[in-house]
Amino acid sequence: MHSELQALRDDVRQPKTDHGNTRLLAEFASLRAAVEGWRAEAAAFRADKPTEAAEPEPAAAAGQPPAQQADTEADDFEQLLTQAAGTAYAEITCHRDHWDFLIAQSSSGQHFRLPGAVDESDDGLITADISGRTLIAALDALWKTQHDAAADPGTRHLAAIIYQRIGQALNAVANDTTACHAPRPDVTRIIIDDRPPAQGS
């Protein structure tokens, strides 16, 4: 019996090879090697891929005025309409082509009234008396045209210069009459003619 117990102790002490564990460890090592290989390939792919340029921020629309400037222009427009409403009539002098453009722009307006008489000189200049209501129609039409992005540049610039001259004439009268005891001008004169003065004049 003593010999049997000794044999049992020897069996317990003798290391046994676990073939199952050895196989699992080998598989884990293989998987680890595969994962490391995939990581290396991914890093190489990212290094070779060109860096995408950051998308630029959307730029402001060309020609679009700042909000403050737009508000100022709108206020000036409203002021000119008020001044035109208080004007009995104004005398306009311009080339007949400017006059045709002005009529074409404003004739569809609610307040447009065709002048009773238009005088034309030999050099192509016309002179006409237009009412305050017609001035309102002209200002409204010219304001819309000069801010119309779909209009061609020539049309927008032509509308802008005529609008500017009407505004200058109305503001000149308003400035004269705001002074204390200042005499009222006999008529509001709108002149669209940038020709240099004749020599000797």
pLDDT in tens, 128-165: 999 999 999 999 999 999 999 999 999 999 999 999 99
pTM of the model: 0.61
pLDDT band at 62 (very low <50, low <70, confident <90, very high): low
- Helices 153-178 and 67-85, axial angle in degrees (round to 10): 60
Report the distance separating Cα 136 and Cα 82, nearest Å.
Answer: 9
Question: Measuring CA to CA, which residue among 143, 148, 172 is closest to residue 160?
Answer: 143
